[in-house]
């Protein structure tokens, strides 16, 4: 199936075999780990926070209410969902959709790091503040880090082993579920991804 596929599968197998808080919670509820989906040749990688209940039930990222918003945003820039790669920092659902703990981000981030290394995207669009903070720090942009209310819609650039990486922080689509004006902001901010 190809080298990228094999490497992604190895990551999946390792996450599925994890033990500890969120992995135990997954097993107790017959949930799935949510590794990510999309094209392994994607130019743009979307990184959310953690799976919600729908995602944990199906094993697919962004397939519930937040996913419908993400689909609408992708459609608004004419990008088919299958052409991008969509994942989260944390691969197992936190109980009650609470924010991920720093220890959970620390545990799951190395798997995300490996996914980024496999995909070598041109652009990472972070969805929400957790992935924005993680990605900006990871790529040496801590000094540019500001609140998501200021950073959303901007485009940052980092030097990476495979060239230049653009980082496009976005509000989390879930925030726009009951907030039409935030949805408009997201649509406007997504325009920046068209050039990529």
Query: Could you list the residues that contact ligand URA (CB under 6 A)?
Result: 48-52, 55, 61-62, 66, 88, 174
Nearest approach, Cβ of residue 163 and ligand URA (Å): 27
Nearest approach, Cβ of residue 130 and ligand URA (Å): 8
> How would you class 161 by CB atoms within 10 Å of its CB: exposed for 0-12, middle for 13-18, buried for 19 or more?
exposed
For residues 14 and 71, which CB has a smaller minimum distance to ligand URA in the complex?
Answer: 71
Nearest approach, Cβ of residue 184 and ligand URA (Å): 20
Q: What are phi and psi of 132, to 5 degrees?
A: -60, -50
For residues 25 and 160, which CB has a smaller minimum distance to ligand URA in the complex?
Answer: 25
Nearest approach, Cβ of residue 67 and ligand URA (Å): 6
Question: Which residues lie closer than 8 Å to 67 by C-beta, 6 or more apart?
Answer: 54, 55, 61, 173
Question: Which residues lie closer than 8 Å to 176 by C-beta, 6 or more apart?
Answer: 69, 182, 183, 185, 186
For residues 129 and 166, which CB has a smaller minimum distance to ligand URA in the complex?
Answer: 129
């Amino acid at each position: 199936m190809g080298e990228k596929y094999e490497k992604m599968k190895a990551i999946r197998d390792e996450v599925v075999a994890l033990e500890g808080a969120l992995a135990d919670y997954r097993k107790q509820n017959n949930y799935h780990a949510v590794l990510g989906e999309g094209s392994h040749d994607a130019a743009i990688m979307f990184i959310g926070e953690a799976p919600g209940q729908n995602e944990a039930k199906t094993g697919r990222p962004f397939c519930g209410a937040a996913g419908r918003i993400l689909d609408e945003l992708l459609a608004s820039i004419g990008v088919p969902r299958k052409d991008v790669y969509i994942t989260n920092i944390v691969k197992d659902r936190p109980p009650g959709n609470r924010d991920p703990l720093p220890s959970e981000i620390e545990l799951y981030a190395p798997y995300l790091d490996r996914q980024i290394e496999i995909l070598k995207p041109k652009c990472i669009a972070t969805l929400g503040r957790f992935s924005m903070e993680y990605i900006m720090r990871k790529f040496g942009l801590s000094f540019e880090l500001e609140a998501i209310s200021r950073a959303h819609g901007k485009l940052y650039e980092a030097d990476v082993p495979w060239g230049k990486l653009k980082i496009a922080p976005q509000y989390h689509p879930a925030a726009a579920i009951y907030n039409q004006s935030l949805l408009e902001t997201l649509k406007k901010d997504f325009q920046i991804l068209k050039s990529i």
